Amino acid sequence: MADLSLLAADRVSLRLGDRTILSSLSLELHAGEMLGLIGPNGAGKSSLLKILTGIHNPSSGQVTLHGSPLQQIDDRQRARQLGYLAQAGTAHWPISVERVVALGRIPHLGNWQQATPADRAIVAETLRQTGLAELAARPFPTLSGGEKARVLLARALAVQPTIILADEPVAALDLSHQLEVMELLRAQCDNGGAVVVVLHDLRLAVHYCDRLQLLLAGETLAVGDPGSVINDENLQRAFSVRVRHSGQSLLDAFALSWTRSGQS
């Protein structure tokens, strides 16, 4: 099984000072799969994601991409395969939306190389796909929180990576845009890529993810298909909540009961 995984973490730990953030945590991601990382605040979801992208190095254990240790892969080659979508993004200069998205082509360009027409076409197509074409010329800092989140997703998509690692990509979005973003991530998996996504909304997690990994205090509490992870005992232990689901299964209580009616 391990040979088939695109991205794998093998017993990674992360310690900062005397605090243990992650302890001996493993993860596997396969082609075509959307893996949801869920768990309470401070469980280590974002830290795990940063280790998977190579932003942080684990204190012990290792991450492999296509079977090769992540640290041995050239920075730019790694960047072409792993797209990262941060929790929040600020631009330090008022550059336009289009230029923010075009940053996604950097891993494909040499230091001296100019963007090719093909690069520009990819940027334009990504802007269209994410419904941002009309905002293309707007300075990034003048956008609303939700618009910024979508621009950052477009930036990650413009890399055209195999794997997207997204940290709460829908946190700032309205209902319709939540679905739009989740569908874009889903499409990434259906096109042969894979996604690891940190989510707080368990309904979205159940609806869109193939597998869920529930973290608690830096360890895996449960991993598997949504039906096996979302149960009374796990929710009680992880979130200290009891779900009222009289007459229906617990999974039905987390069913997504709305769809998009059309293009927003």
Partner 1 sequence: MSILLLLLFCASLFFGSRPIPVLQAALDVARRADTVVALILTEVRLPRALIALFAGATLGLCGAAMQGLLRNPLASPGLVGSASGAALGAAVMLYSGLAASFWLALPAGGVAGALSATLLVYLLAGRSAGTATLILAGVAVNSLALSLISLLINLAPSPYAVREIVLWMLGSIANNSLDDFWLMLPGTLLGWLLLAGSGRSLDALTLGEESARTLGVAIDRLRWRVFAAVALAVGSAVSVTGAIGFIGLVTPHLLRPLVGHQPGKLLTVSALGGAILLLCADIAVRLFPAGTEIKVGVLTSLIGAPFFLYLIMKSRRWQT
Binding residues for partner 1, per CB under 8 A?
A: 50, 53-55, 75-80, 82-84, 86, 89-96, 99-100, 103-104, 106-107, 109, 111-112, 139, 152, 155, 159
Residue 104: how many CA atoms within 13 Å on its side-chain side?
31
CB of 86 to partner 1, least distance (A): 6
Decide if 83 contacts 164 (C-beta within 8 A).
yes
Asked whether the beta carbons of 159 and 79 are under 8 A apart, the reply is yes
Distance (Å, whole) CA 127 – CA 173: 17
Closest CB to partner 1 among residues 15, 80 = 80
| Nearest distance, CB of residue 19 and partner 1, angstroms | 18
Residue among 112 and 244 whose Cβ is closer to partner 1: 112
Is the CB of 100 or the CB of 212 nearer to partner 1?
A: 100
User: How far is 241 from 67, CA to CA, in rounded Å?
Assistant: 39
Residue pair 23/48 in contact by the 8 Å Cβ criterion:
no
Residue 31 or 95 with smaller CB distance to partner 1:
95
Least distance between partner 1 and beta carbon 103 (Å) = 6
Give least dist CB 224 to partner 1, A.
Answer: 28
Structure-block tokens of residue 118: 């093909």
Least separation, in Å, of the C-beta of 259 and partner 1? 32
Which run of H or of E encompasses 196? strand 194-198
Smallest distance from partner 1 to CB 238, Å: 27
Looking at the Cβ atoms of 171 and 221, the one nearer to partner 1 is 171
Smaller CB distance to partner 1: residue 57 or 191? Answer: 57
- What 3-state DSSP class applies to 37? strand
β-sheet bridge partners, residue 220: 215
- Comparing CB distances to partner 1, the nearer of 155 and 177 is 155
- The CB-side HSE value for 178 (13 A sphere, CA atoms) comes to 19
- The C-alpha R_g of the chain, in whole angstroms, comes to 19
Q: In 3-state terms, what secondary structure has residue 243?
A: coil
Smallest gap from Cβ 102 to partner 1, in A, equals 9
Other CB atoms within a 10 A radius of the CB of residue 90 amount to: 8
